Chain A
Amino acid sequence: MAQQQFKYLRPEDIRRLASYEFAPKALVEGYLSGRHRSATRGTSTEFRDYRQYAPGDDPKLVDWKVFARTDRHYLRTFVHETNLDCHVFLDSSASMGFGQNPTKLEYASFFAAALCHLVTRHTDRVSLQLFDERIRQFVPPGGTRRHLQNLMHLLEVNQPGSKTSLAASLRRAFPLLRNKGSLVVISDFFDNVSDIFAALGLYLHRGFQVYLFHVLTPEELDLPDKGLLSFLDLEDGQRLIAHTSDLRRHYRQAMEEHVRALRELAVRRRVGYSLARTDTHYFTLFDQLVA
């Protein structure tokens, strides 16, 4: 992979990522022994609990000392160390095409690429889902180098699509994820906040650790004063003629309110939230993910 250069995963970025490690705080569900603790019982050196023997259990797990004292069959269980599934949801709607050097989608792609690299570096698996108002691409979890190359290629050819419907996309994607793990949603979240969290509720209920990365350009956070403009919607082509001076103050207030609502709901639902300004380096976002 070192010989092949990708747009969103440059050699210098890989070198800098060497000092990072992806280690979500939540327990994960996997099928390979790995670095991450699992809520399932398994084989490891760390004792977890006793449980009664049931037919079909491995007899070698029976604790004979307990049987000698109590005349009952109990099994010793150990904490199951497994690998991690990280599911990256990348908003590829038309609104993500906003911004210059980079666009929001480019910024999000850089971050997603680095994240995929970090995950796959330690035999964990990563999946990628590109969506707008529908799921445009879904790559199931994988942890191989080939898998990573596919993801990089997919990011490179990805273009802003049509409207955003994050909540709908999250609902549609839910059945596709077999193992719980980390869910990383990278989007501008121009959707109803309640709908978004209603959709995320499915994942949270199943035990996913959810991270939301709210990608916004400085222009979206603070509307530039450009006088009278005809605003053209990148998603649906609608036009709105308005004077920026008429809007700026209220827009800023509304945006702050939107961000605040997202942050509050995230805190309440124990969801990681981070505002990703495109004028800051995406490496800073890893602070939200590392242990």
Chain B
Amino acid sequence: MNLLLTNSVLLPLAALVLVPLVLHLFARARPPVYEFSSVAFLRQVLRKAIRIKQPQSLLVLMLRTLLFAALIGAFLKPVFFAGQALPGLGVRKDVVLIVDATASMAATEGSQTRFAAACAKGAEILNGLSTADTANIIWLGTPNRSEFPQLGANVAFLKKALRQASVSYTAADVTGALGLAAGMLRDRAAAREVYVLSDFQATTWNGVTFAVPPGLRLYTVKIGEAQLPNVAVTSLAAEPARPLAGQDVKVFCEVQNFSPEPAITTVYLRAGETHQSQEVRLTPWQKLPVLFQLKPTTVGEQTLAVALSEDAFPADNERWAVIDVVQELNIGIAGYEPETAAYWRRAVGALGWANAVTLTDADLEKPVAVDALFLAGWAGTGAAKERVAGYLKQGGLVVWFPGTATEAGSLQTLLPKSAAANPGAGRLWEKAAKPWRLRLADPANPMLAVFASGTYGDPARGTFTGRLRLPELGGAKPILNYEDGQPALTVLRDGGALLLWNLPLQREVSDWALQIEFVPFLGELILHYRQRTAPGPQRDFLAGQMLARQFEVEVLDRDVQLRRGETLVPVVRQAGVRGTLLTAPEGRVPGVYSWQYRGAALERQTVNFPPVESDLRTGPAPDFGHPSVVRISGKRSLEQMREGQPLWPWLLAVGLLVAGLEGLVLMRVDRP
């Protein structure tokens, strides 16, 4: 605790505090004489009264002394500094400002955003530094970014950075920022101070722990007090993400009410020339799924934009997704078992909306970019194993016929852990003199719905004299079984869909491929189980994630552009052995970004608002359970901490209060 007297020259006035006591003592010395008829009678009365009057007189004397003390104190204008050294006493400081630049700081309170208020507070702190002090700013976000690599004395630059800064619309990495600040201040000789200027958004700061290093003083400055209501679009997805032209597309989005009050809003969908809207009513804190249906007819990339009616926090009112409307699907067929692959290829070609792409071993060693992957006679070994597993993990459809030479152990290559079983030993292939027939294992399976009427025949028609003897697989859902219960076509989910194809198509063991049902069955299988998300590299990003695009060949900087609307976004080129990787470090503003090569559109990518930032509820400034952490909140607190708390208004108020009390006491004393 530190106290500074602004008018210390008036300190001798403090002696005046004795005035009431002196008056009390000397006023009794020479009172006017009053002749009275019977003092003896008065004396009797006085003896009775004095027992009550004595404490009352002392109380009045005390109150008057206190009144004088308060008034004199007010004239001396004391200033109180809590929990810190007095400024301007030669204590050099090293200061790091951690300014919250996350999306929630874009919320507007009053006439300015929380971020603007934080920057203003930061400027106040910097203004309080002396020329000997050093400082730095860390922008809290993802990733955390500092203005200087280390602390610097160029405070003017930091002030300019505060004036020019903008919200990053990213989520926060709190622990990283605090650690970065602590690292910058490690081994510094001066007084080390870290100021965290944030709204302390509850979803971000709850549960954050930080071990404050010894000797470090941490100030948590709370920006914004209001619990702002907000309605946000928290997710957007299209299914399928790579639809065929004219195919129905379901657009799922989720709208959440982040307020304790019910809300009514309108959800707008814009997809090319199509505009749809739905009015939704949200109960407090409700998350409501909203479904739109589209039938895109134009081939090519199409941007879906979902928006809400305007509210107090518009940053999260819009969300984007890109769908790739295609004329035909690319079905990759790897033909290790040529006859089966040939039947598949022929059937795919007959579908009309699918294109069979023959894949070699070399193709499988690169990232797989097809809508479905058919592996005929693949033994589950070799370099392709990881690529296929990766493709499956990304949600792809893999139809795998292990082949007649498959060993039992090879099945483990792609099987999910839940399906792991004791496969036994030896080859799985078996033959029978009497042909096996099929039956529908799950007639309710949606992919079989088209066959329910019988128009497209019976998919279980056909006979087999050879098959794989598969072990029992946990979690497997059979579509077709042999009559003896052996699975013929089984679905295993692990990210995408793995269809274990135990339906040999070789003419010598099966006539199933010759049935008219074979082509529609294969078509339904592809449409139903194909990859729900678009194949290929990531296209949807959250603000804060770095936009990137891999080019298979080396490209020049001038040839590639990244645009957000009409705005050109700088990209960074990283040449590698596999072509060129272009990244956009500043691509953190939500929106639709378009990669262009020599002016021609290559690909669209979207950056969306992080849903965790939509909940604008703030919490108290944390103290991390450490005594050196000072929590500062309220409009004047920071100024008070820097310039001290002037106590004269309080002393004046105390004086008035004491005067009032004295009046009350005297009124009670004098009451007849």
A→B interface (CB under 8 Å): 95-96, 98, 104, 188, 190, 217, 220, 225-236, 238-243, 245-252, 254, 258
Q: Contact at B46–A230, with CB atoms within 8 Å? A: no
Interchain nearest-CB distance for A246 vs B (Å): 4
Query: Which of B31-39, B195-203, B571-579 is near enough to bind chain A?
Result: B31-39
Q: Contact at B35–A234, with CB atoms within 8 Å? A: yes
Interface residues on B, range: 20 to 34
Q: Contact at A232–B45, with CB atoms within 8 Å? A: no
Q: Contact at A229–B33, with CB atoms within 8 Å? A: yes
B→A interface (CB under 8 Å): 27-28, 31-46, 48-50, 53, 57, 666, 669-672
Task: Choose one: B31, B45, B670, B671; the contact of A254 (CB below 8 Å).
Answer: B45
Q: Contact at B41–A190, with CB atoms within 8 Å? A: yes
25 contacts between A and B (CB under 8 A): A95-B38, A98-B37, A104-B37, A188-B38, A228-B32, A229-B31, A230-B32, A230-B33, A230-B34, A231-B36, A232-B35, A232-B36, A234-B35, A234-B37, A235-B38, A236-B40, A239-B39, A241-B31, A243-B53, A245-B666, A246-B669, A247-B42, A248-B672, A249-B671, A251-B42
4 further A-B contacts with Cβ under 8 Å, apart from A230-B33, A238-B39, are A96-B37, A231-B39, A234-B38, A240-B43
Contacts of B35 in A (CB 8 A): 98, 231-232, 234
Complex Cα distance, B39 from A207, in Å, reads: 36
Interchain nearest-CB distance for B360 vs A (Å): 114
Contacts of B32 in A (CB 8 A): 226, 228-230
Complex Cα distance, B39 from A234, in Å, reads: 8
Q: Contact at A246–B46, with CB atoms within 8 Å? A: yes
Contacts of B57 in A (CB 8 A): 246
Task: Choose one: B31, B38, B46, B672; the contact of A252 (CB below 8 Å).
Answer: B672
Complex Cα distance, B33 from A146, in Å, reads: 44
Task: Choose one: B34, B45, B669; the contact of A251 (CB below 8 Å).
Answer: B45
Contacts of A229 in B (CB 8 A): 31-34
Give the total number of A-B pairs whose CB atoms are below 8 A apart.
97
Interchain nearest-CB distance for B60 vs A (Å): 10
Interchain nearest-CB distance for A16 vs B (Å): 29
Closest residue to A240 on the B side, CB-wise?
A: B39
Complex Cα distance, B669 from A230, in Å, reads: 20
Interchain nearest-CB distance for A137 vs B (Å): 21
Closest residue to A228 on the B side, CB-wise?
A: B31
Q: Contact at B46–A240, with CB atoms within 8 Å? A: yes
Interchain nearest-CB distance for A145 vs B (Å): 35
Q: Contact at A247–B49, with CB atoms within 8 Å? A: yes
Interchain nearest-CB distance for B185 vs A (Å): 66
Interchain nearest-CB distance for A252 vs B (Å): 7
Complex Cα distance, B35 from A66, in Å, reads: 72
Contacts A249-B672, A254-B41; A233 near B31 (Cβ below 8 A): no
Complex Cα distance, B41 from A258, in Å, reads: 10
Task: Choose one: A230, A233, A254; the contact of B44 (CB below 8 Å).
Answer: A254
Q: Contact at B34–A190, with CB atoms within 8 Å? A: no
Interface of B: prevailing SS:
helix
Contacts of B36 in A (CB 8 A): 98, 231-234
Q: Contact at A233–B45, with CB atoms within 8 Å? A: no
Complex Cα distance, B669 from A98, in Å, reads: 28
Contacts of B50 in A (CB 8 A): 246
Contacts of A240 in B (CB 8 A): 39, 42-43, 46
Q: Contact at B28–A241, with CB atoms within 8 Å? A: yes
Q: Which interface residue of B37, B43, B49, B669 has the most chain A CB atoms within 10 A?
A: B37
Complex Cα distance, B26 from A228, in Å, reads: 12
Contacts of B671 in A (CB 8 A): 249
Q: Which interface residue of A104, A230, A234 has the most chain B CB atoms within 10 A?
A: A230
Closest residue to A99 on the B side, CB-wise?
A: B37
Interface of A: prevailing SS:
mixed
Complex Cα distance, B19 from A49, in Å, reads: 85
Q: Contact at A228–B42, with CB atoms within 8 Å? A: no
Contacts A220-B37, A245-B670, A249-B672; A231 near B49 (Cβ below 8 A): no
Interchain nearest-CB distance for A191 vs B (Å): 10
Q: Contact at B28–A250, with CB atoms within 8 Å? A: no
Q: Contact at B37–A242, with CB atoms within 8 Å? A: no
Complex Cα distance, B41 from A190, in Å, reads: 8
Contacts of A95 in B (CB 8 A): 37-38
Complex Cα distance, B47 from A250, in Å, reads: 10
Q: Contact at A250–B49, with CB atoms within 8 Å? A: yes
Contacts A188-B37, A190-B38, A234-B37; A250 near B31 (Cβ below 8 A): no
Q: Contact at B49–A232, with CB atoms within 8 Å? A: no
Contacts of B44 in A (CB 8 A): 254
Contacts of A217 in B (CB 8 A): 37
Contacts A190-B41, A232-B39; A246 near B49 (Cβ below 8 A): yes
Contacts of A258 in B (CB 8 A): 41
Interchain nearest-CB distance for B11 vs A (Å): 33
Complex Cα distance, B38 from A225, in Å, reads: 17
Closest residue to A239 on the B side, CB-wise?
A: B39
Q: Contact at A231–B40, with CB atoms within 8 Å? A: no
Contacts of B48 in A (CB 8 A): 250, 254
Q: Which interface residue of B28, B32, B46 has the most chain A CB atoms within 10 A?
A: B46
Contacts of B28 in A (CB 8 A): 228, 241
Which 8 A-B residue pairings sit nearest by Cβ, starting from the closest? A233-B39, A98-B37, A95-B37, A250-B49, A229-B34, A190-B38, A228-B31, A246-B53
Complex Cα distance, B668 from A246, in Å, reads: 11
Complex Cα distance, B48 from A95, in Å, reads: 23
Q: Which interface residue of A104, A233, A239 has the most chain B CB atoms within 10 A?
A: A233
Interchain nearest-CB distance for A143 vs B (Å): 34
Complex Cα distance, B32 from A134, in Å, reads: 32
Closest residue to A191 on the B side, CB-wise?
A: B38
Contacts of A190 in B (CB 8 A): 37-38, 40-41
Task: Choose one: A225, A236, A242, A249; the contact of B42 (CB below 8 Å).
Answer: A242
Contacts of A232 in B (CB 8 A): 33-36, 39
Interchain nearest-CB distance for A189 vs B (Å): 10
Contacts of B53 in A (CB 8 A): 243, 246
Complex Cα distance, B669 from A225, in Å, reads: 13
Contacts of A236 in B (CB 8 A): 39-40
Closest residue to A245 on the B side, CB-wise?
A: B670
Interchain nearest-CB distance for A290 vs B (Å): 29
Q: Which interface residue of A96, A217, A254 has the most chain B CB atoms within 10 A?
A: A254
Q: Contact at A247–B45, with CB atoms within 8 Å? A: yes
Interchain nearest-CB distance for A55 vs B (Å): 59
Task: Choose one: A233, A235, A239, A247; the contact of B46 (CB below 8 Å).
Answer: A247
Contacts of B37 in A (CB 8 A): 95-96, 98, 104, 188, 190, 217, 220, 234-235
Complex Cα distance, B298 from A3, in Å, reads: 144
Complex Cα distance, B671 from A249, in Å, reads: 8
Q: Contact at A231–B42, with CB atoms within 8 Å? A: yes
Q: Contact at B34–A231, with CB atoms within 8 Å? A: yes
Interchain nearest-CB distance for B521 vs A (Å): 111
Contacts of A249 in B (CB 8 A): 49, 670-672
Interchain nearest-CB distance for B270 vs A (Å): 85
Task: Choose one: B34, B38, B45, B666; the contact of A250 (CB below 8 Å).
Answer: B45
Closest residue to A251 on the B side, CB-wise?
A: B45
Contacts of A242 in B (CB 8 A): 42, 46
Complex Cα distance, B57 from A242, in Å, reads: 12
Interchain nearest-CB distance for B141 vs A (Å): 71
Contacts of A246 in B (CB 8 A): 46, 49-50, 53, 57, 669
Complex Cα distance, B57 from A61, in Å, reads: 81
Contacts of B45 in A (CB 8 A): 247, 250-251, 254
